[in-house]
Structure formats: structure tokens, C-alpha cells
Amino acid sequence: MPTTSDPDQREPEAFLDVPVGTQALVLTPSLRSPLSLLPQSAFENLLVVSTTRSPKKVEQIVRERGGDPNTVGVVPVSGSPVDYDGPLWTTSVVHPNDLSGIYERFERGTNHVKPDVGWVVFDNVNVLLMYAERSSVQNFLDSVATTVRRRNATGAYALVRDAVTDDTHASLAASFDAELDRRTDGF
């Protein structure tokens, strides 16, 4: 019988199931890494825009999920310096209030995302809302989703739904093809 502590033994429906090229807004509980929701195949070619976890922590999660860190890239978004020397491909750190800088590093990272195979994960959209106006974040996410769509890669953008207003949720959701509510998943 599968246990919830063994990520590779979870029921298949516990993982995100979205068609290739789909951009999905994933509603998550606070502190849940969307990396825990990815199907195993996502770790074959993955770019993570990480606003809440250091590259070292992303590497740890990738390894725990049985992924190869050499196939994962990270755009670290942080107000503090990030020191990482490991197998993940990383860009230089960018401050969360610098949407243009985040987009530039993200766009550079998408060169490593393979069409029809690759995934892009934005681990917490809420962080950007703390540093920028909702309309700016909405425009940013719309540009990101459009870029990932053009590569025919799959995108998962985590939003802690309980931490935003209905209006903010509705305006952000407009940029995506699907919405998956994973707030009550038991793992």
C-alpha cells in the first residue's frame, strides 16, 4: 500500500496531470512546494523560478523525488545573496521587486527547456505580489505563460489562494489555460 511519505509511491492522480503545453495556475496550501506535485517525467527537463527556496533546497527536493539535478535549472529570486555550487544550472540571483530582471533570467533559462518535453515551475506567485502591483504581476505572468506556451512546454504556477483576494485571484487566473486546486491534497 502506498504511503504519503514516499513520493514515488503516491497514487498517480496525486500528481499534476496537464496536457503538454498547458499553463496551469496551481492553488497550493502555504509552504507546499509545487515540485512535490510534479509527475516524474517533469524532472527530465525542468526550469524552476524559485521565490521561496534556495537552489540547494530545490536540489534536495529534486533528489528526493528521484530526479537528476543535472536536468534542472533554477532562477533564484531572493532579497538576499544566494551562494550555490552544485549540479543545478542557475542564473544569478534577482530581487523579487525586479520583474524585468526575473523575466530576463527566466527567458535565458527557457533556452534549456525542450519543446514538447520541458516544464517550467514558478514556485510561489504570492511573493511577487508583496513587491509589485497586481497589474504588474499579472502582465509579468502573462508574458511568462506566453513564452512557455510558445515553446510548447508545460507550466505550473503556484499560488497560495487563501492569501489573496478574489479579485487578485481572478485577474491572475486569466493568464492561464487551467486551474488546479491542490489545497486539500493529503500529502
Phi, psi at residue 50, to the nearest 5°? Answer: -110, 115
Query: Does residue 175 lie in a domain region?
Result: yes
Q: Give the whole-number percent of the chain exceeding pLDDT 70.
A: 91
pLDDT at residue 11 tops 90:
no
Residue 121 lies in a domain: yes
Q: What is the pTM of this model?
A: 0.89
**What is the rounded average pLDDT of the residues 74-89?**
94
Rounded to an integer, the average pLDDT of 9-34 is 80
> Given this model, what pLDDT does residue 124 score?
94
Residue 81 placed within a domain: yes
Asked if residue 5 has pLDDT above 60, the reply is no
Q: How many structural domains are present in the chain?
A: 1
How confident is the prediction for the chain on average, in pLDDT? Answer: 90
Q: Are the CB atoms for 119 and 109 separated by under 8 Å?
A: no
Looking at the predicted structure, is the pLDDT value of residue 133 above 60? yes
Q: Is residue 170 part of a domain?
A: yes
**What are the start-end ranges of the H helices in the chain?**
55-64, 99-110, 126-131, 134-150, 166-173
5 falls within a domain: no
Give the CATH number of the domain where residue 21 resides: 3.40.50.300
pLDDT interval class at 111 (50, 70, 90):
very high
The confidence band for 9, taking pLDDT boundaries of 50, 70 and 90, is very low
Residue 1 lies in a domain: no
pLDDT > 90? residue 75:
yes
Q: Is residue 2 one of the residues assigned to a domain?
A: no
Alpha-carbon Rg for the chain in angstroms:
15
Boundaries of domain holding 24 = 17-181
